[in-house]
C-alpha cells in the first residue's frame, strides 16, 4: 500500500495499549528488512531517518526507496523524519513526501522550543502530516547532537507545551539515553503515567536500544505509544557483515553482506515488535 501517516497507527496504539515500533534505517537493505519484519508480524511500522542519514543519502532518495517498498507491502508503513534539527529541514522532508516529521527543539529553552515546534506544527498540520516534538532532554548521542545530562520532562510543562504547539505526539525524557548504555539506566517510569494523565497526545520513547524487554514493556503499559530503535539496528547489520568476513574472508560481493545484514535486522525488529505488543495490529 502507499505510505500512510503516523496519525491512525499511533491513535490505535494509544487506544489499544501497545506501541508502534519506529526503526531508523540507513540503506535499502535495512528498509527491506524492517518492512519484511512488519509483514511477517502483521504490524504497523514507522521507518525513520535522522539528519545525518539524509545528509548522506538525501531525503528524496530515502523517500523513493521506502515508498517503493511500502507499495508492495500489505501493512501500514510510515516514513518519519527523526530528530529534525530545523524548520527548514522539516519543510524539505514534507516536500520530499515524508508522511511524519519530528522537530527537536529540546536544545532550546522552553519558550524557544514552543516557538520552533509551533512553526513546524502549523505548517505540517495544514498538510495533514503529524508532528512529533521533544520536551526535556534525552541523554547520550543521537546523530550529531549530544546531551551532557538528562533533564526529565515535567508533566505540567508537557501539558502546556502540547496545548500551545499543536503537536500530535510527544517524546518525553524519563532517564533513557541515545546509543548503547554503559551502565544500567534508572528510568522514572512513574513519570510516564504522570504525563499520560495530563497529556492527550500519544507519548514517544527515545533511547530504547539496549533497554531490557521488561523496561520497554512497562513503559508501554504506562502510556508510551511509539518506541524508537536505532543503535541496535546499526550494530546488528554491521556485526552480521563482520561475522561473514570472519567465516568467509574471501567474500567480495556487496550483495552477500546485504543478505546477512537484512536477516539480522529483520530478526531483531521482529523481536522488538513482540515486546511492543504490535504484532497482528496492522489494519
Catalytic residues: 82
Question: What DSSP designation does 211 have?
Answer: -
Q: For residues 142 and 52, what is the distance between their CA atoms, to the nearest angstrom?
A: 10
Is 64 labelled as part of a ligand binding site?
A: no
Is 209 labelled as part of a ligand binding site?
A: yes
Is 161 labelled as part of a ligand binding site?
A: no
Is 104 labelled as part of a ligand binding site?
A: yes
Is 208 labelled as part of a ligand binding site?
A: yes
Is 83 labelled as part of a ligand binding site?
A: yes
End-to-end CA distance of the chain: 11
Is 27 labelled as part of a ligand binding site?
A: no
Question: What DSSP designation does 137 have?
Answer: B
DSSP character string of 68-80: HHHHT-SS-EEEE
Is 178 labelled as part of a ligand binding site?
A: yes
Q: For residues 222 and 104, what is the distance between their CA atoms, to the nearest angstrom?
A: 23
Q: For residues 139 and 150, what is the distance between their CA atoms, to the nearest angstrom?
A: 5
- The b/e string for 240-260 (b: 16+ C-beta within 10 A; e otherwise) is bbeebeeeeeeeeeeeebbeb
- Please give the annotated binding residues for dihydroxyacetone phosphate, written as ranges: 179, 207-209, 228-231
- Please give the annotated binding residues, written as ranges: 83, 104, 134, 178-179, 206-209, 228-231
- Please give the annotated binding residues for Zn(2+), written as ranges: 83, 104, 134, 178, 206
Amino acid at each position: 500500500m502507499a505510505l500512510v501517516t503516523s496519525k491512525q497507527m499511533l491513535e490505535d496504539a494509544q487506544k489499544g495499549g501497545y506501541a508502534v515500533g519506529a526503526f531508523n534505517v540507513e540503506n535499502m537493505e535495512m528498509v527491506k528488512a524492517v518492512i519484511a519484519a512488519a509483514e511477517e508480524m502483521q504490524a504497523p511500522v514507522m521507518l525513520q531517518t535522522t539528519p545525518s542519514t539524509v545528509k548522506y543519502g538525501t531525503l528524496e532518495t530515502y523517500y523513493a526507496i521506502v515508498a517503493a517498498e511500502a507499495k508492495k507491502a500489505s501493512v501500514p508503513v510510515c516514513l518519519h523524519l527523526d530528530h529534525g534539527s530545523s524548520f527548514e529541514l522539516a519543510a524539505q522532508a514534507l516536500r520530499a513526501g515524508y508522511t511524519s516529521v519530528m522537530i527537536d527543539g529540546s536544545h532550546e529553552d522552553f519558550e524557544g522550543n514552543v516557538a520552533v515546534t509551533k512553526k513546524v506544527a502549523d505548517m505540517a498540520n495544514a498538510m495533514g502530516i503529524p508532528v512529533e516534538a521533544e520536551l526535556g532532554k534525552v541523554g547520550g548521542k543521537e546523530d550529531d547532537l549530544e546531551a551532557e545530562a538528562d533533564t526529565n520532562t515535567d508533566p505540567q510543562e508537557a501539558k502546556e507545551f502540547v496545548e500551545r504547539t499543536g503537536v500530535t505526539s510527544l517524546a518525553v525524557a524519563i532517564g533513557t539515553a541515545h546509543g548503547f548504555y554503559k551502565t544500567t539506566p534508572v528510568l522514572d517510569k512513574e513519570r510516564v503515567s504522570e504525563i499520560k494523565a495530563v497529556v492527550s497526545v500519544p507519548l514517544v520513547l527515545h533511547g530504547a536500544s539496549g533497554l531490557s524487554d521488561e523496561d520497554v514493556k512497562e513503559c508501554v503499559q504506562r502510556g508510551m505509544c511509539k518506541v524508537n530503535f536505532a543503535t541496535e539496528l546499526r550494530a546488528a547489520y554491521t556485526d552480521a557483515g563482520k561475522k561473514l568476513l570472519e567465516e568467509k574472508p574471501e567474500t567480495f560481493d556487496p550483495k552477500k553482506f546485504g543478505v546477512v545484514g537484512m536477516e539480522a535486522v529483520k530478526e531483531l525488529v521482529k523481536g522488538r515488535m513482540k515486546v511492543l505488543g504490535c504484532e497482528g495490529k496492522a489494519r
